[in-house]
Structure 1
Amino acid sequence: MTLLHFTKPLNPRSRPDLTLLPQDVFWLILDYLTPEDIIRCRRVSLLWNAAFGDPPLLARMLKIHFPWTDEAQSLQLAGALKLTLHDARRLHDKVAARYHRLRKGNPLSVRKLPMCNEIGDSGQHTWLRVPPWTFHASHLSNRIQRGFPEAMWSHEDGLLVYPNKQHHFVSMMDVKKNQLYLVPFVMGGKVVRRIRLHLQLLVIEWAQESTLYRPDHRGRVHGHFASSYDIIRKYDGNWSIVPRNEWQIVNTGHPIGENDRFFSAHNRDYYVVYVWQPSRSLNQADTTPRELLTVWDISKRSSYRPSIGAGEAALAMGEKRENFPSMIARFDFEGLSHIGLRQREAPSMQGLHITNDGKSIIITKCQNTWLSMDNVIGLPRVIRTTFPLQGQGPHRQEVTNLILPPYRSNSNIDASFISPALLFVDDWYGLIAQQLDDNSGVSFCLHFNVLEWFEHADKDDQNDLPLKLTIQTKFKSQVTRENLDFSGTGKISAGENYVIGENRNNQLVIYRFD
């Protein structure tokens, strides 16, 4: 920082001082200082401490350097004038320290939340992750490199839902307020397969613990269902979790087995599920998998519980049948072939979404192009297919310029697109997950060194190679640190001041930067 030098004192009895300049001149000089400079200047003298800690000045600095933050947006001019000295310094210094830590890659705190073990006290599975594909078109030769199990947790807008080991229940945490809520999901006789929170609607997919039958060596078959819960913010800022309805995931065709793959998505009113089942044919030459996509209307609250056959009881209580969740569209292998979405033995699906307006379904495919002559840098070919939610009307297929990380687990099915401007790691193939906070521009990228990975191809420690976490901010700063805390499932989720992942000890890990 450069100070002004005067040829003669402004006051014969005092030495020249930057803080004695007219306010408009003083504030012009402040435009050249960083928030860290402001904090350092307060340490020079009592006079500088008062001048550089003036509430209107600090409010102005927040709005100039961090206009996207909640702290800056909450400050109006009238509010800035009413700020106490303590509050002004607390807000400014908190935000400045947050971005200092982000630029350095050093969290202020690390919290670990134990999650429930997959095997319960009864010796049976209580939490059973949906198995990932073993082959995928986003990889060279379709063979998945450095895969991960699916994450049994979900995070959206500061709300984290996970299997809480302390309470042996599905819990929801408000990460910002550090408040915990128990989800009213009864665990008895159920095996949870997946948890997803989206648009303040929580969907828990689960199977009945009892086995329907065991057709062959490919595993047991169970009845699969889904339960939904509305997440409602109350007038006091706390949250209420209200059961909405329940439906059977597949009520036609073969039930889902332990080794079958299924992927789903939902918005506030609809639910879509794609089921991929390895061939159960006695003919060993027939390896064609069974595929089915169904769409459900889940918009109405209902007491109908198909898992216990309570439909007649609900009707007897005066509930209308049209309130029950209902299947509104079904695509078998012929329907999927017609719109070019049949996956067969080499899946390429890496995105399944319902538009927020409830009119269309979008399926994204990701294909490796390293052997393609027209793509020498090896970026994937990402194809998006959009078709009407109820299957009536034309479909649209387009090759996009967007980028997806290679498929490494089922958590990649809802992976965010990566803009080429944010592709700041050495090699696309080393990407595992990336999260961008749109409001603040803070980006977290989990990746690994591809060359190092292939150098250890014949060694037992290949999967033990450390991952790397790269953090980028709007200031174009970028820092990379080795990371072992997020190597459990390869999934991260983040806000402006925190990032969440899972380690190999079945613990959720939260890095907080303020």
Structure 2
Amino acid sequence: METDADIKRPCLFRQSGDGKTGKTTRDLTDLPSDVFLLIISHLSPQDNILCRRVSRAWLAAFTSDQICRNFMRWHFPRCREMRKLPDAPKQQQWAQIFPRVAQRYHHLRAAKPRLVEKIDVVQETKQKGPHRGVEPWNRQLRFDKHNAEFQYRDPTWCVDDGVLVYQESVSGRYVAYDLETRHRFSIPFDGTDKTVRRLRLAYGVLIFEWCEREPYHRLNDRETVHRHFATAFDVQRSSSRSSSPQASIVRSVSSPSSWSITFRSEWKIHFLGLPLNHHDRFFSAHTATHYALYLWQPNRSPWGEEDPLEQLTVWDISFPSAYRPSLDPSGANRPDPDLAPVVVRRFTWRELEFLGLRQRHTPSLREILLDERNIYVHDEDHRWLVGQHSPLSPPRHHHVRCTGVPFAGLGPRWLDECCADGDVHMSFCPRAGSATARVGGARRPLGLEGTWPGRAPCWRHEEFPYLTVSDVVDPRAGIRVVARQCFMMEALSAFVLPKISVESGEDEGGEEEEEAPEVRFPDEMWAELMGKGRICGDERWVVGEDREGKITVVRF
């Protein structure tokens, strides 16, 4: 009978220089390439990086650009660097890119910031000053003597595509801060004698909504009117002259070195002007070609009419124009309508009532959004709402709705309501409870992105009794950072889809993705990020505002 001692254990041999065979065990790096790749494919990203410290031979093997590119393809196929691969230089230094991406996802999956950066900005003022935001609706949540904000004020900053726009507290100038290169670029917007009501960066277009600090005329015995305008700037990347691959080591885009910020156009958003008070409100949205504004004003008619004045207007802002109506009060130099921003659709209060969008004295409008041909109005009501604008007959659950209307041509109205159901206190929604649909995973409707504006915002109540205040969605990376609140309880969590997931919602074997894991940030991060109830960012960072009014940049 054969015993363990009789079994010969396999060993590898190396041929010596004199032709003799020595019984010497080979190193892992001496194996054939296909066998070596098969073995290291089972290592985690952290183990792959630690293997560089074993020996010089291992350092050379594990820092090979081809090997590191395979690591990126295996572990981080949806990261920003891999998505930008077609536009990247031919010779990428993957040996330096891979540990940087591995570090980012290590902190992101653990919900632990690698670095927290603070930025001082100009604060909002209630009197005449550089910034006075538009008042939100007077609606708060109240349940069992606990109160919570339902709609927050707009922040004095905005961020998109890795560019943070804010007004410096020391110099008073507006700057664009590249979060990746940490370079600042001046914005040619003169805030002297102007009060900014709102600023927003989206689709490569930066828009300032502002008014003159001095009133233009008197509305009545108690109120004065300030002329309101919108100024648009094109924000575009400028490529670097250097074609060296080293230029992309610290950047995930091929070779951006600066930003080009140029004036596009300016237009008046109200023909008479608006008072600076707590009653007149407007909501806006824009794309690269259109700008929409919903206006809500209390009725000041002396004839006893009570319903507020409402109007929804859409401009075409695609054509650049040097004309500035703020410098031409009489309108004597107004150019041809085709050579300046022009109104393409105006919905009066009668049309809004016909479409089911009129708000009256109990408004439920949360936000408006745009795409190429439609405008979407998101409405939201809650059973626990109190305040001047709360509903007289509260819904029996948290109700959200999206109404889409074409502004170009004719077409049917799009209506998507929340299908929540439950008792008088609890709300259950079949769409909620999973981050997969929100980040563009398997549960989204076929052909629709997770952030498509035509969907009702069911993500607001997806984890009852928590109310989702804000979230950061990076659908291409499969990542979502979400902030939820339940009156006295707050939770800031991160969702990262499995690494094998793709945008179609199926893995390599054609099976659906698993539920996205949830990891909570430390409790103190709520106070650092949710001062204004809004977070922005992508897989590289999360931007918010703390309770002292400073911008917080959490880097991974």
Query: Is TM more than 0.5 here?
Result: yes
Is 1:395 aligned to residue 413 of structure 2? Answer: yes
Rate the CA distance shift 1:327–1:21 in 2: closer, same or farther, 3 A. Answer: closer
Count how many residue pairs are aligned between Structure 1 and Structure 2: 462
Query: What does residue 324 of structure 2 align with?
Result: 305
Aligned to 1:363, which of 351, 371, 377?
A: 377
CA distance in structure 2 between the partners assigned to 1:23 and 1:323 by the alignment: 63
Is 1:339 aligned to residue 355 of structure 2? Answer: yes
Is 1:118 aligned to residue 139 of structure 2? Answer: no
Specify the SS of the correspondent of 2:108: helix
AA aligned opposite 1:193: R
CA deviations over 1:327-350 (Å, ceiling 9, x no partner): 333222212101110011222222
| 291-300 vs 432-441, greater mean Cα deviation | 291-300
Aligned to 2:232, which of 228, 232, 255?
A: 228
Aligned to 2:99, which of 90, 93, 97?
A: 93
CA distance in structure 2 between the partners assigned to 1:507 and 1:79 by the alignment: 37
CA distance in structure 2 between the partners assigned to 1:492 and 1:162 by the alignment: 15
Tell me the CA shift for residue 215 of structure 1: 3.7
- Determine if contact 1:305/1:311 at 8 Å carries over to the other structure: no
Runs (5+) with no aligned partner, structure 1: 1-5, 372-377, 405-413, 454-466
Tell me the CA shift for residue 221 of structure 1: 3.2
AA aligned opposite 1:302: S
Is 1:384 aligned to residue 427 of structure 2? Answer: no
CA distance in structure 1 between the partners assigned to 2:331 and 2:187 by the alignment: 26
Tell me the CA shift for residue 434 of structure 1: 0.8
CA deviations over 1:49-70 (Å, ceiling 9, x no partner): 4443333222211111112224
Rate the CA distance shift 1:322–1:425 in 2: closer, same or farther, 3 A. Answer: closer
Rate the CA distance shift 1:291–1:444 in 2: closer, same or farther, 3 A. Answer: same
CA distance in structure 1 between the partners assigned to 2:315 and 2:147 by the alignment: 32
CA distance in structure 1 between the partners assigned to 2:135 and 2:119 by the alignment: 23
Specify the SS of the correspondent of 2:149: coil
AA aligned opposite 1:130: V
Specify the SS of the correspondent of 2:350: helix
Is 1:104 aligned to residue 147 of structure 2? Answer: no
- Determine if contact 1:380/1:403 at 8 Å carries over to the other structure: no
Runs (5+) with no aligned partner, structure 2: 1-7, 14-21, 241-255, 386-395, 420-430, 434-451, 499-515
AA aligned opposite 1:329: R
Aligned to 1:32, which of 15, 37, 42?
A: 42
- Determine if contact 2:370/2:376 at 8 Å carries over to the other structure: yes
Tell me the CA shift for residue 312 of structure 1: 5.7
AA aligned opposite 1:361: I
Tell me the CA shift for residue 400 of structure 1: 5.3
- Determine if contact 1:101/1:108 at 8 Å carries over to the other structure: yes
CA distance in structure 1 between the partners assigned to 2:332 and 2:533 by the alignment: 44
Is 1:280 aligned to residue 323 of structure 2? Answer: no
CA deviations over 1:74-95 (Å, ceiling 9, x no partner): 668x989x67xxx443211111
Aligned to 2:274, which of 233, 247, 255?
A: 255
Tell me the CA shift for residue 216 of structure 1: 6.5
CA distance in structure 1 between the partners assigned to 2:376 and 2:153 by the alignment: 24
Query: What does residue 430 of structure 1 align with?
Result: 467
- Determine if contact 1:383/1:398 at 8 Å carries over to the other structure: yes
- Determine if contact 1:303/1:314 at 8 Å carries over to the other structure: no
| 476-485 vs 13-22, greater mean Cα deviation | 13-22
Query: What does residue 478 of structure 1 align with?
Result: 518
Tell me the CA shift for residue 485 of structure 1: 1.0
Query: What does residue 292 of structure 1 align with?
Result: 311
Tell me the CA shift for residue 184 of structure 1: 1.2
Specify the SS of the correspondent of 1:322: helix
Rate the CA distance shift 1:9–1:162 in 2: closer, same or farther, 3 A. Answer: same
- Determine if contact 1:135/1:347 at 8 Å carries over to the other structure: no
Tell me the CA shift for residue 365 of structure 1: 1.8
Question: More helix per residue: 1 or 2?
Answer: 1
CA deviations over 1:448-489 (Å, ceiling 9, x no partner): 344x35xxxxxxxxxxxxx43211212344321221211220
Query: What does residue 459 of structure 1 align with?
Result: none
CA distance in structure 2 between the partners assigned to 1:490 and 1:104 by the alignment: 23
1:40-189 counterparts in 2 under 5 A? 40-73=50-83, 87-119=93-125, 124-135=128-139, 145-147=148-150, 148-189=152-193
Tell me the CA shift for residue 301 of structure 1: 2.0
- Determine if contact 1:382/1:403 at 8 Å carries over to the other structure: no
Query: What does residue 547 of structure 2 align with?
Result: 504
AA aligned opposite 1:487: M
Specify the SS of the correspondent of 1:485: helix
- Determine if contact 1:336/1:342 at 8 Å carries over to the other structure: yes
- Determine if contact 1:250/1:256 at 8 Å carries over to the other structure: no
Specify the SS of the correspondent of 1:234: strand
Tell me the CA shift for residue 439 of structure 1: 1.6
Aligned to 1:351, which of 360, 363, 367?
A: 367
- Determine if contact 2:461/2:467 at 8 Å carries over to the other structure: no
Tell me the CA shift for residue 491 of structure 1: 0.7
- Determine if contact 1:416/1:434 at 8 Å carries over to the other structure: no
Rate the CA distance shift 1:271–1:426 in 2: closer, same or farther, 3 A. Answer: closer
CA distance in structure 2 between the partners assigned to 1:417 and 1:263 by the alignment: 19
Rate the CA distance shift 1:364–1:159 in 2: closer, same or farther, 3 A. Answer: same
Aligned to 1:322, which of 332, 338, 341?
A: 338
Rate the CA distance shift 1:79–1:292 in 2: closer, same or farther, 3 A. Answer: closer
| Cα-Cα RMSD | 3.6
Is 1:444 aligned to residue 481 of structure 2? Answer: yes
AA aligned opposite 1:96: A
1:214-225 counterparts in 2 under 5 A? 215=220, 220-225=224-229
TM-score (norm 2): 0.74
- Determine if contact 2:311/2:346 at 8 Å carries over to the other structure: yes
Rate the CA distance shift 1:180–1:428 in 2: closer, same or farther, 3 A. Answer: farther
- Determine if contact 1:403/1:419 at 8 Å carries over to the other structure: no
CA distance in structure 2 between the partners assigned to 1:48 and 1:158 by the alignment: 36
Specify the SS of the correspondent of 1:145: strand
Tell me the CA shift for residue 162 of structure 1: 1.5
Rate the CA distance shift 1:268–1:423 in 2: closer, same or farther, 3 A. Answer: closer
Tell me the CA shift for residue 419 of structure 1: 8.6
AA aligned opposite 1:479: V
- Determine if contact 1:364/1:385 at 8 Å carries over to the other structure: yes
Tell me the CA shift for residue 264 of structure 1: 0.7
Query: What does residue 31 of structure 2 align with?
Result: 21
Tell me the CA shift for residue 245 of structure 1: 1.7
Query: What does residue 407 of structure 1 align with?
Result: none
AA aligned opposite 1:103: R
- Determine if contact 1:201/1:230 at 8 Å carries over to the other structure: yes
| 201-210 vs 274-283, greater mean Cα deviation | 274-283
- Determine if contact 1:68/1:440 at 8 Å carries over to the other structure: yes
Rate the CA distance shift 1:194–1:18 in 2: closer, same or farther, 3 A. Answer: same
Tell me the CA shift for residue 492 of structure 1: 0.7
AA aligned opposite 1:9: C
Query: What does residue 410 of structure 1 align with?
Result: none
AA aligned opposite 1:111: E
AA aligned opposite 2:297: Q
Is 1:491 aligned to residue 495 of structure 2? Answer: no
AA aligned opposite 2:117: R
Query: What does residue 456 of structure 1 align with?
Result: none
